[in-house]
Structure 1
Amino acid sequence: MRDPYAADVESRRAEHERWLRGPAGYLAAVERIELPIGATREVHGLVIEALPDGFRVDGERTGPRTVETGGRYRLRLSHQNFPAIVILDAESPRLREPVVPRWFPVDRAYRFVLPLEPDGARADIRTTRDQDRPAERAGWFTVPLDGRGYRLSATRFLEPGAGEIEVYFSDATSGRESYRMRYVPAEREGDRWLLDFNRTYNPACAWSPFYNCPLPPAENRLPVALRVGEMSPGTSELNVPSEHVAVVARFGDRDAAERATDALKSAGFADDDVSIVARGATTDESGRFVPGGLMVTVLASGREEAAKRVLHAHEAQDVSTNRVGATGTVGQRTV
């Protein structure tokens, strides 16, 4: 008989993938418009004003949410005390790309019901857009991992539309098998809290450069590997053998990235060896800010210098060489 718990986790994952690839998912994002508090902007026929505690759309007050425009576009109203409009396009080219979420196997050992040690101190959270989102440290969880207890802080944002408690963390798989940071929700169960790392998910920035995502606080950067929950984004098509060398470069916009990929293909690199993946801004292992963008990746074993010349000729930024191990797909690399 199938394990009901595993079936529930897998059902949630399937639903997440359907949403991700839908017209309101992260892959549909095509533009971000910053809208400072007090500013008004007409976007796809809707007049939107940013308020201290939400938005006004065509004269009606509303909170952070996704609104319909009556056409192919939706507008995600993101407040975070730094209001912005993310434009979602039901015909976004990214929805046709073979990028998919990947998951570690379900492991009940990472499901915890724990007490929350209250804190309540103000603890603003740095974001991928170099902002400090007002937040409070709701408390501390002591999580048994790898034979010892690790204290992880739980965050509640102080902003319109917020209120849930989550743990933002990185671990020894981050930037390798998993995205550079991940989030796990905390759900109340009586006088305790459910912290199920099988429900760990990637931030929006793993899928699109048009979002503003929390970075893990220093106390939540774990030295142990949590092979549970969501992995780094993958692809459903591009298989690579072991020990390939990939050249990766960042571009500021899709047009430039696509010109570079066309040039790489004209230079003799196979179509299946060249890909574009959106990456949100993040931090490196030392906590320094790393900007996001569109990452062009080319499998270039033996032709690394040729690939770099093409990328530099098209004004690529941050060109680097990475070794790809025997992990399966292009999307399993950190891009």
Structure 2
Amino acid sequence: MTNDTVSATAVDPRLDFEVAWWEWHRRHEEVRADPHGILAVTGLHWLTSVPQRFPDVPGEWHTGDDGPVVALDDGELLVIDGRQVHGRHEFGPIAERAGVTVGIDGGVLEVARRGGHDILRPRRPEHSLRLGYRGTPTYPPDQRWVLSGRFVPFDSPRPTTVGAAVEGLTHVYDAPGQVEFAVDGVPLRLTAFNGTAPGSLSVLFIDTTSGVTTYPANRSLAVGTPDEQGRVTLDFNRATNLPCAYTDFATCPLPPAENRLPVAVEAGEQIPYELPAGDSAGRS
């Protein structure tokens, strides 16, 4: 093989694109199937002002303005920041979409706040959903679905209320603006929320594949920080399922009504092999 051939192979943009996508997909699956990841969640418990016990969680729990409180009986304990905790423990107020993870026998316990409610979610590595996970099917990576877009900011962030995977629950997000783009000449736009990294964006959407080849309720796409002209890249090959595609114990947000795309986004993750028990979506 000549040096010219080696050089041409090393910079093949199609090969680089596919290699990068497969590496991203592998890492994403690893996080999903982590011993204490979303596939390990075994329950969802809603805390109230009335003390109550749950069969898979130590202690008696209640919550109020001062946040979750647990009272542990003799022989019960939690591990918080590496320290064994007995008796009564006050967690303090938990911010919306935040939470803490503590150790319990056989796993961990997420103490969190979602949609204005304090919740508990135990996670155990031996959960059958995690042990039987076969991976998530996807569309083959295709550079056709790497699209250029433009972020158009609102004059000020708009509080946007959306539904949730749990009936009766709502989430409120500040939407900083919208992302404009086109698919096969069709102009489209998506309301964007703030992403995980400062300045980045996240969009929730459904399209005409939803409920056919992709999960019906939602998919999520991370979008990098817009440049000075507002330009962004939307790589729909990296459109992912949210936890509610895998478990009934998720509180995922649904897309805003305007984020229902009238096109088939044949890219990214598809319907999982095993849907949650409460989901009746079909497969193609």
Q: Using structure 1 for the length normalisation, give the TM-score.
A: 0.62
The alpha-carbon deviation at position 20 of structure 1 amounts to: 2.0
SS state at 2:44 partner: strand
Q: Does 1:117 align with 2:156?
A: no
Going from structure 1 to structure 2, the CA distance change for 1:278 and 1:229 (only over 3 Å counts) comes to closer
Which deviations, in whole Å up to 9, do the C-alpha atoms of 1:144-188 show, x marking residues without a partner? 11321101111239xxx9986311100011011000110101211
Contact persistence 2:160–2:172 (CA under 8 A): yes
The alpha-carbon deviation at position 226 of structure 1 amounts to: 0.4
Q: Does 1:146 align with 2:178?
A: no
Q: Does 1:208 align with 2:242?
A: no
Counterpart Cα distance in 2 of 1:79 and 1:162 = 22
Which deviations, in whole Å up to 9, do the C-alpha atoms of 1:292-311 show, x marking residues without a partner? x456xxxxxxxxxxxxxxxx
Match 2:259 to one of 220, 232, 242: 220
Structure 1 unaligned blocks of 5 or more? 56-62, 235-276, 280-292, 296-319, 325-332
The alpha-carbon deviation at position 50 of structure 1 amounts to: 5.3
SS state at 2:265 partner: coil
Specify the alignment match of 2:202 in structure 1. 166
Going from structure 1 to structure 2, the CA distance change for 1:70 and 1:82 (only over 3 Å counts) comes to closer
Counterpart Cα distance in 2 of 1:91 and 1:15 = 21
Specify the alignment match of 1:282 in structure 2. none
- CA RMSD, Structure 1 to Structure 2 (Å): 3.0
**Identical amino acids, percent of aligned pairs:** 24
1:242-253 mapped onto 2 (5 Å cutoff): none
Specify the alignment match of 2:68 in structure 1. 39
Structure 2 unaligned blocks of 5 or more? 1-8, 48-62, 79-88
SS state at 2:45 partner: strand
Contact persistence 1:50–1:83 (CA under 8 A): no
The alpha-carbon deviation at position 216 of structure 1 amounts to: 1.1
Match 2:141 to one of 97, 103, 106: 106
SS state at 1:90 partner: coil
Specify the alignment match of 1:199 in structure 2. 238
Contact persistence 2:146–2:233 (CA under 8 A): yes
Going from structure 1 to structure 2, the CA distance change for 1:50 and 1:197 (only over 3 Å counts) comes to farther
Match 1:156 to one of 170, 194, 204: 194
Counterpart Cα distance in 1 of 2:225 and 2:147 = 12
The alpha-carbon deviation at position 98 of structure 1 amounts to: 4.4
Aligned residues: 235
